[in-house]
Amino acid sequence: MNSPVLHLTQAGRLDRFFIGGKWVAPEGTGRIAVVSPSTEETLCDIPLGNARDVHRAVEAAREAFVRWSVTSPQERAARLDRVHALLLERTELFAQALTMEMGAPISYARGAHVPLAAEHIRVARDNLANYPFRVRRGTTAIVREPIGVCALITPWNWPIYQITAKVGPALAAGCTVVLKPSELSPLSALLFAEVIADADVPAGVFNLVSGSGTEVGASLAGHPQVDMVSITGSTRAGVLVAEAAAPTVKRVAQELGGKSPNVVLPDADLPRAVSLGVAAAYRNMGQSCSAPTRLIVPRSVLNQVDELAVAATEQMIVGDPFAEATTHGPLANRAQFERVQRMVEAGIDEGAKLVAGGRGRPAGLSKGFYARPTVFSNVRTDMTIAQQEIFGPVLTILPYDMVEEAVTIANDTVYGLGAHVQGTDKTLLHAVAARIQSGQVHLNYPAWDPQAPFGGYKQSGNGREYGIEGMEEYMEVKSILGFYD
């Protein structure tokens, strides 16, 4: 198989945006290098769009909305079905792109990144098939209609997964979209635009403009013909988008940062709770906004937890992401690597007990953005590593004496995106889950549910993705009084 870069180059798409159903030359003159996180070498460079590119894409989406918004649910579902099938058919191409552009181990790209991304399209298709766009309430019809043109701003850590989480429900709802993928991991987004074209999605329904947040992101957020912005990114980026969108009073859905707790109750199966907790915290090299990176455990078993966490960490194989045996690759980019190093240093300086990992790269790796899976124990809630999102393979273990204190620690953060609770007493398990301020709570490591709404409390954002609620984010509600008279 050709590499994704060669494939896109030969197809003439690496230097193009996808607007109005065509691959078009950008008007912006800037460019940015796409860097391999495993070698630190430049893979290629891509163009950066500007406000004129954004305007072209928004105009194409606005024109397409007139027809797409009134297509039947069956027609929209048929298009999504084709997108779903093509994504799965091209799993290997997408997996290679993800490993190249953001360092996902090839086995994880094949087994998680791509199939889970496809699930978002399947769920959108399935939910669309039976969704009641009009319901009766007395003599009033409550109607849900597509909100309009949606700007979708996606991150570099789960590139194709976050694209489909937004595009699937937006198109299902009858909206048209302009996607701004992260300029740091753009290859999978370009491949997705090919899927859209090959699935015969009508021209202008999906558009793609690459660029920076300060230029393309801000232009989209402030554009008067954009009806909604959905962003997944840092809390800082979410604030900037909301500020840019405010003058046009458009809807802004934000899936932002997290510092998720994992509360281990006194009656939990400790070896299982800790080993799976470490794995969940280090999923995608810790670059997940909902990663449970605060392991909150009874003080009486702290030493045992430390030993179990170290043992679990030692099972991980950090290395070349193209090697089949690798479980964890590099961090996705230099800035993230440097942030993780600073946060590890902060943990050491503030007196946390370092029980695994530490500064620098793992042994034998002299280049690439590789970090050492790191565990800090006996962490206090006022420490930097207990409060700030690290977005890397750094686990903090915080002890408690009473369950009441565990709940307080879990909620002692400005974030509220995800949470975990481990235990065997279901009454206690459910009571603790009910008191955690978080958009999702996972009990005893359940299977991922693409129908479960996902989103945050507090500074983790607002709005929901996934499932029915994710599709309803892209709709307006209209009441037609007297409809049933």
Indicate the Cα dihedral angle 36, 258, 420, 252, nearest 10°: -110
Rounded to the nearest 5°, which phi and psi values hold at 208? Answer: -130, 125
Is residue 299 located within the same domain as residue 397? yes
Place of tokens 């915290």: 281
Number of domains in the chain: 2
Is residue 234 scored above 90 in pLDDT? yes
pLDDT score of 119: 98
Please state the rounded mean pLDDT for residues 282-303. Answer: 98
Tell me how far apart the terminal alpha carbons of the chain are, to the nearest angstrom: 63
What is the amino acid identity at position 70? V
pLDDT band at 370 (very low <50, low <70, confident <90, very high): very high
Is residue 106 located within the same domain as residue 225? yes
C-alpha 160/C-alpha 115 separation (Å) is 10
CA distances from 263 to 92, 194, 441 (A): 37, 43, 10
Is residue 479 scored above 80 in pLDDT? yes
3 state SS of 258 = coil
Please state the rounded mean pLDDT for residues 199-213. Answer: 98
Q: Do residues 187 and 160 make contact, with C-beta atoms less than 8 angstroms apart?
A: no
Is residue 251 located within the same domain as residue 265? no
Residue 455 inside a domain? The answer is: no
Is residue 338 scored above 70 in pLDDT? yes
pLDDT score of 341: 98
Is residue 212 located within the same domain as residue 316? no
CA distances from 433 to 160, 397, 418, 436 (A): 30, 19, 11, 5
| CA proximity to 43, closest of 78, 8, 95 | 8
| Cβ-proximal residues to 294 (8 Å cutoff; 6+ apart), any chain | 259, 260, 261, 262, 379, 386, 396, 398, 409, 410, 413
DSSP sequence for 164-210:
HHHHHHHHHHT-EEEEE--TTS-HHHHHHHHHHHHTTPPTTSEEE--
Instruction: CATH number of the domain at 65, please.
Output: 3.40.605.10
Is residue 2 scored above 80 in pLDDT? no
Q: How confident is the model over 264-292, as pLDDT tens digits?
A: 999 999 999 999 999 999 999 999 999 99
Residue 41 inside a domain? The answer is: yes
Q: Which residues of 96-131 are buried (b: 16+ CB within 10 A; e: fewer)?
A: bbbbbbbbbbbbbbbebbbbbbbbbbbbbbbbbeeb
Q: pLDDT above 90 covers what percent of the chain?
A: 100
Please list the residues that pair with 79 across neighbouring strands: none
Which of 101, 119, 183, 255 does the annotation list as catalytic? 255
Kindly state the DSSP code that residue 224 receives in the 8-state scheme.
T
Token pair of 456 as six digits: 């945050």
C-alpha 234/C-alpha 232 separation (Å) is 7
Is residue 246 located within the same domain as residue 327? no
Our answer to whether residue 472 is catalytic in this structure is no
Domain residues for 9?
Answer: 4-256+460-480
Q: How confident is the model over 163-176, as pLDDT tens digits?
A: 999 999 999 999 99
pLDDT score of 160: 98
3 state SS of 394 = strand
Q: Do residues 18 and 184 make contact, with C-beta atoms less than 8 angstroms apart?
A: no
Please state the rounded mean pLDDT for residues 423-447. Answer: 98
Q: Is 412 exposed, middle or buried (0-12, 13-18, 19+ CB in 10 A)?
A: middle
Place of tokens 């995106």: 417
Residue 198 inside a domain? The answer is: yes
Is residue 250 located within the same domain as residue 307? no
Is residue 355 located within the same domain as residue 469? no
Residue 116 inside a domain? The answer is: yes
Q: Do residues 293 and 390 make contact, with C-beta atoms less than 8 angstroms apart?
A: yes
pLDDT band at 414 (very low <50, low <70, confident <90, very high): very high
Is residue 1 scored above 80 in pLDDT? no
Instruction: CATH number of the domain at 355, please.
Output: 3.40.309.10
Is residue 236 located within the same domain as residue 90? yes
| CA proximity to 218, closest of 159, 167, 151, 162 | 151
Is residue 250 located within the same domain as residue 266? no
Q: How confident is the model over 34-85, as pLDDT tens digits?
A: 999 999 999 999 999 999 999 999 999 999 999 999 999 999 999 999 999 9
Is residue 53 located within the same domain as residue 81? yes
Q: pLDDT above 70 covers what percent of the chain?
A: 100
Please list the residues that pair with 399 across neighbouring strands: 297
C-alpha 180/C-alpha 73 separation (Å) is 26
Please state the rounded mean pLDDT for residues 226-243. Answer: 96
Which of 289, 389, 465, 472 does the annotation list as catalytic? 289
Q: Do residues 89 and 199 make contact, with C-beta atoms less than 8 angstroms apart?
A: no
C-alpha 231/C-alpha 134 separation (Å) is 28
Quickly count: other Cβ atoms within 10 Å of residue 202's Cβ: 15
C-alpha 6/C-alpha 422 separation (Å) is 47
| CA proximity to 162, closest of 475, 474, 472, 470 | 470
| CA proximity to 384, closest of 294, 302, 297 | 294
Is residue 475 located within the same domain as residue 414? no
3 state SS of 317 = coil
Please list the residues that pair with 297 across neighbouring strands: 399
Our answer to whether residue 469 is catalytic in this structure is no
Sign for the pseudo-dihedral over CA of 146, 147, 148, 154: negative
Q: How confident is the model over 319-328, as pLDDT tens digits?
A: 999 999 999 9
Residue 454 inside a domain? The answer is: no
CA distances from 244 to 25, 75, 185, 221, 275 (A): 26, 35, 24, 6, 43
Is residue 95 located within the same domain as residue 213? yes
What is the distance, to the nearest Å, from the Cα of residue 158 to the centroid of all Cα atoms in its chain? Answer: 5
